């Protein structure tokens, strides 16, 4: 399941398109449930993690990892 390595702030594509016509979602909360926000109309939904993993098609944009700044 290496393809399902999603993280906070990733942009993902779901199997079904949102009624507004958009198919890109941003992961805005992770835990037992995943909250995703439609990038077309800003509607957000909360989905159980297991269901999210089944209905996610692919990761479109990986969120940038925070960089460590050393003094």
SS3 68: coil
Confidence of residue 64 (pLDDT cuts 50, 70, 90): confident
**What does the pLDDT read at residue 1?**
38
> Would you state the structure tokens that stand for residue 52, as one six-digit string?
């999210």
pTM for the model: 0.79
Residues forming a β-bridge with 36? 27, 45
């Amino acid at each position: 399941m290496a393809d399902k390595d999603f993280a906070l702030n990733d942009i993902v594509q779901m199997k079904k398109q949102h009624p507004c016509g958009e198919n890109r979602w941003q992961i805005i909360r992770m835990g037992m449930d995943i909250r995703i926000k439609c990038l077309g109309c800003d509607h957000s939904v909360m989905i159980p993690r297991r269901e999210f993993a089944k209905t996610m098609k692919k990761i479109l944009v990986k969120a940038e990892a925070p960089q460590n700044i050393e003094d």
